[in-house]
Each structure stands twice: as C-alpha cells, then as structure tokens.
C-alpha cells in the first residue's frame, strides 16, 4: 500500500509511428527527472524501448483515412474497449493522449468520466478542418499541449486550457554521423546525385506510394545515369513488404534502418509522403517534393471538409507553396520525376527552397519542446 501512494503512474495512448516516438521521448525525459515513474499504455517499438509497458501494439491499427478506418472498425473498437478497461484497472495519475485524434478523443472522454486527469499532446488539426472540434475536445481534457505556435489561439478563443510546448522534432532531428561519414557508411558517392525515398511509416502508405516512387526513380536513372537512391525504412514497416516492391522494380535502392536522419542528410532531393516526415526533412534543410495518395472515398471527403490550401507542413507553416505537392491524381511517376529533375538540374531552384525551409525552421522556435512538455506533465501530476 505504501508503494502505491509513493509511485506515480502515467498511461500513454499513441496510435501512430510519430506518436510512438513522441511518447517515448517524453517518457525518457520524465524518467531522467523522476526515475520511479511507471509508464503503461498503447504504443509500439519506441515506447517499449523507453520502458513503457505496452497493453497493445498500436502498429496493428495504424491507418489513415475514412475508408481505411472503416475497414478496421471492429478491431479499433475492440482495442478501444480494451484500453478503457486497462485505464480502470491501472487507475493512472494521468492519461497522456498522443495524437491519434478520434480514438484518443473517445479514450479521453471515458477517462474524464471516471475521474482520470487527461493531457492531450499534439492537437487535432482544427485549423485545417472542423474547427467546431475545439469545444468538443475541450470538454474531455484538462490540458491541450500544442506543437505549433499558431494553434494556441483556436483554444484560447473557446477558453480551453492550452499550452504551446514547441515541436519535438526540432531537438530530435539530429544526425549521429557527419555527412561525409554517412556517405561513406552507406557506400554513396558524394560526387553524383543522391535521391531519397521516404514512403511513410504505415503499411497502406507503402503500398500506395512506394511503387510510384520506384517508377519515378527508374525514370530519373535514365535522365541521370549516375543517380543513387536510398530509402530509410521505418521501424513499423517489415522487410518483407519493402522487399516485395523492391524485387519488382528494376532499380538499385539502398535500404537503411534506424538511421533516418543520417540518410536524409546524404540526399540532394527527397521524394516524401505527407506528414511529420516533411517537417523533419525541412529541419534538415533538404529540398523535397511531396507525394500522397488516399483511398478515393477519403480523398473526396477530404476535399469537401479540409479548409487549408496545403497538406504539407512546410507549406502550411510558411503560408505559401514552397514545396511542390503531388496529391492523388497528380501523384504520378512522371510528375514526381519531373520535379526531382528540376531540383537536381536547377541549383537556384533548390537553393530557393532551402532558404524558404530555413524560414520554416525559424517559425518553429528554438526547441526544448520535450523539456517544456515534461514540465507541463509534472505540473499536472500529484506532488
């Protein structure tokens, strides 16, 4: 009984690869200040490595899009019920919901109903669509931690408790090797172009985007015969899935695990999916082109609901289309190869994008996001 009162327990809920990493980084920081903390919840490899006891591996339900969610609806509902039961069993001092918006909204609502304090980390994109969700989320949380400076105003306008903590990627996106050492490690020639393929961390992203990127790479190889290609493989993606598509493509692509930032810094241009990856590439100051395809139903619903001009985070933060976005029907190998060719053959265009990406970095602030977030967590925990 004495141990129960002395030990603080945090329940984490992360359903995406990026959320898994954010939660792991946060728990690691919390543990440096209070080693006795206990972490449990839903997540994946990174959270487990950080010492959080997993109730469920979230990589099994990591999907994006209306149609994809409907296809996994029964499984997602089953996992939600299991996490609700786990909350009641664990009785944590704090529930930290990391992104994974609709699932975590339902979990937060349940926690609030049962007297468990809720901190939501990484705001739903209320500035892009369904701004009425601000009140909806405000009713089920005790604090919203936002990672972009412009997000706070949406919550403050509705008197929802909010704290800008900074974007965690600012401190996280740091290569372990120098560029020259990375090029040597990956057996890349620094005198000829290197093109990166960042196809995503979800299975459905790989299935939709990697074949397009590989076809674009084949076209680029004809235009730039010495061009080299490299792919940082996400932890959530199996060797079998990557191998399946590489075996069908008549192109040599180096696949590297666990060193994504070292891989990125080697690249002259990167073909990337939408999402956190675009911001990480921006922070590395590497020219890029964004390629994305969704299920047809999800895409058409998105066109109706989404109120922002862009999907790429660098463009959203900058306020203009500084990076080319090839979405849905525009996401073709030809269009992708043409934009990469433009950036490779036109140094002034590549330099202009680099200068704009520097402005994106400046807009995000000085960093220290994980430390600021940890401070907020401790404010919400019992003394």
Q: CATH no. for residue 46?
A: 3.40.50.2000
In a domain, 372, yes or no: yes
For residue 70, pLDDT beyond 60: no
Q: Same domain, yes or no, for 126 and 229? A: no
Q: Is there a single domain that holds both residue 86 and residue 12?
A: yes
The pLDDT, as a whole number, for residue 63 is 53
Q: Are residues 161 and 184 in the same domain?
A: no
What lies within 8 Å, CB to CB, of 251 at 6+ separation is 214, 217, 218, 221, 229
pLDDT beyond 50 at 4: no
pTM: 0.80
Phi, psi of 261 (to 5 degrees): -75, -35
Q: Are residues 321 and 372 in the same domain?
A: no
Residues 245 and 121 in one domain: no
Separation of alpha carbons 220 and 270, rounded Å = 13
Do 224 and 359 sit in the same domain of this protein?
A: yes
Contact indicator for 201, 20 with CB cutoff of 8 Å = no
DSSP-assigned beta bridge partners for residue 38: 9
> Which domain range does residue 199 map to?
179-363
**Contact in structure between 128 and 105 (CB atoms under 8 Å):** no
Closest alpha carbon to 50 in 97, 12, 107? 12
For residues 245 and 323, membership in a common domain is answered with yes
Q: Decide if pLDDT at 312 tops 70.
A: yes
Residues 291 and 330 reside in one and the same domain: yes
Give the per-residue pLDDT at 47.
95
Task: Say yes or no: 207 and 133 in one domain.
Answer: no
Give the count of domains, the chain.
2
Does residue 174 belong to any structural domain of this protein?
no
171 in any annotated domain: no
Any domain includes 173: no
Q: CA 53 to CA 92: how far, in whole Å?
A: 13
Q: Tens digits of per-residue pLDDT, 246-294?
A: 999 989 999 999 999 999 999 999 999 988 899 999 999 999 999 988 7
Q: Are residues 245 and 138 part of one domain?
A: no
Provide the mean pLDDT of the chain. Answer: 89
- In this structure, of 10-19, 93-102, 124-133, 225-234, the range with the lowest mean pLDDT score is 124-133
**Residues 316 and 212 occupy one common structural domain:** yes
pLDDT greater at residue 173 or residue 6:
173
In three-state secondary structure terms, 116 is coil
Give the per-residue pLDDT at 340: 98
C-alpha R_g of the chain: 21
Regarding whether 263 and 115 lie in a shared domain, the answer is no
Q: Which residue has the tokens 């029907």?
A: 329
In a domain? residue 242: yes
Rounded CA gap, 371 and 165, in Å?
9
pLDDT tens sequence across 313-371: 999 999 899 999 999 899 999 999 999 999 999 999 999 999 999 999 998 887 888 99
Residue 172 lies in a domain: no
């Amino acid at each position: 009984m004495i141990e129960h009162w002395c030990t603080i327990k945090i329940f984490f809920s992360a359903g995406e690869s990026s959320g898994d990493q954010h939660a792991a980084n946060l728990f690691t920081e919390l543990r440096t200040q209070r080693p006795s903390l206990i972490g449990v919840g839903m997540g994946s490899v990174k959270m487990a490595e950080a010492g959080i006891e997993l109730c469920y591996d979230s990589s099994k339900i990591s999907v994006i899009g209306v149609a994809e969610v409907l296809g996994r609806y029964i499984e997602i509902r089953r996992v939600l019920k299991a996490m609700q039961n786990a909350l009641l069993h664990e009785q944590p001092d704090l529930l930290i919901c990391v992104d994974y918006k609709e699932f975590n909204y339902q979990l937060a609502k349940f926690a609030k109903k049962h007297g468990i304090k809720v901190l939501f980390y990484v705001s739903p994109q209320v500035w892009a669509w369904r701004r009425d969700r601000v009140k909806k989320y405000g009713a089920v949380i005790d604090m919203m931690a936002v990672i972009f400076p412009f997000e706070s105003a949406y919550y403050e306008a509705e008197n929802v408790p909010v704290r800008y903590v900074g974007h965690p990627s600012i401190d996280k996106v740091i290569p372990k090797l120098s560029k020259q050492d990375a090029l040597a490690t990956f057996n890349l020639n620094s005198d000829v172009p290197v093109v990166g393929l960042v196809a995503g961390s979800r299975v459905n992203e790989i299935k939709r985007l990697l074949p397009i990127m590989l076809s674009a790479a084949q076209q680029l190889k004809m235009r730039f015969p010495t061009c080299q290609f490299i792919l940082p493989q996400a932890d959530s993606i199996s060797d079998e899935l990557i191998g399946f598509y590489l075996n069908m493509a008549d192109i040599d692509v180096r696949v590297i695990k666990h060193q994504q930032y070292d891989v990125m810094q080697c690249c002259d241009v990167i073909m990337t999916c939408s999402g956190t990856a675009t911001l990480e590439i921006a922070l590395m100051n590497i020219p890029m082109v964004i390629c994305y395809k969704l299920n047809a139903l999800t895409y058409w619903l998105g066109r109706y609901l989404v109120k922002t001009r862009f999907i790429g985070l660098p463009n959203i933060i900058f306020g203009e289309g500084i990076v080319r976005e090839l979405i849905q029907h525009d996401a073709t190998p030809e269009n992708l190869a043409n934009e990469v060719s433009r950036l490779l053959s036109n140094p002034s265009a590549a330099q202009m994008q680099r200068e704009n990406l520097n402005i994106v970095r400046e807009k995000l602030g000085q960093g220290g996001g994980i430390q600021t977030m940890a401070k907020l967590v401790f404010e919400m925990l019992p003394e």
